[in-house]
A = this chain, B = another copy of it.
Amino acid sequence: MDAVAFAVGQWRAEAPTLDHAPTLIFGRLARYAQMLAVMNDRVLAELGLAAWELDVLDTLTRQGAPYSLTAGDLERAMLITSGTTTHRIGRLEARGYVTRSRDADDRRVVNVVLTDAGRAACVTALEALLERQRRALDALETHEQDALTTGLRALGRVLRDAPPDA
């Protein structure tokens, strides 16, 4: 009986006419994501890195050489607003992990390039994170991992199609 199942039990007593089944999936998704974030933060904190910093460095690093994207590319890849993008780039630039420069062909565009220090920090952090996550998954049965992969992929399909209101 986890916290979400308990909460649904409470709700079924209080409002029996409502269908609370979706909470068993979406409520868990939200709560476990929050718990995952805490776990990740603990690993990254030891390396002096915040999750949002790794988010940027990861997005740039996995592009491969020359490890460059525009501000707009980063914004779309990370699902954040343009204001947050500006802020993130500024902080990482101050830390020496990226450089920022106007594009020569289209001067509205800002090119963000990963520095060697930024790439090194990214790889170190990702190694630690993946190691921690792999150990967590080791506690799952194979069929449970398969169920998660199947279920999450299906859920992604739904959430992608769902966005528009209604």
Contacts and interface: CB of A to CB of B under 8 A. Distances in A.
A47 interface: no
Which of A133, A141, A152, A163 lies at the interface centre, i.e. has the most chain B CB atoms within 10 A of its CB?
A152
Count class of interface residues, chain A: 35 or more
A94 interface: no
Contact of A137 (B18, B34, B158, B163): B158
A134 interface: yes
A149 interface: yes
Contact of A160 (B2, B24, B158): B2
B130 A158 contact: no
B140 A162 contact: no
Interface in A57-74: 58-59, 61-64
Nearest to A152: B28
Determine which residue in A15, A38, A58, A77 has the highest number of CB atoms from chain B within 10 A of its CB, and name it. A15
Interface in A86-105: none
A144 B34 CA distance: 23
Contacts of A147: 146-148, 150-151, 154
Contacts of A31: 79, 156
Contact of A37 (B30, B144, B157, B160): B30
Contacts of A33: 29-30, 32-34
A90 to B, nearest CB: 22
Given A18-B127, A21-B134, 11 more contacts: A2-B153, A4-B156, A11-B62, A18-B130, A30-B37, A33-B33, A42-B165, A137-B158, A141-B154, A144-B151, A148-B154
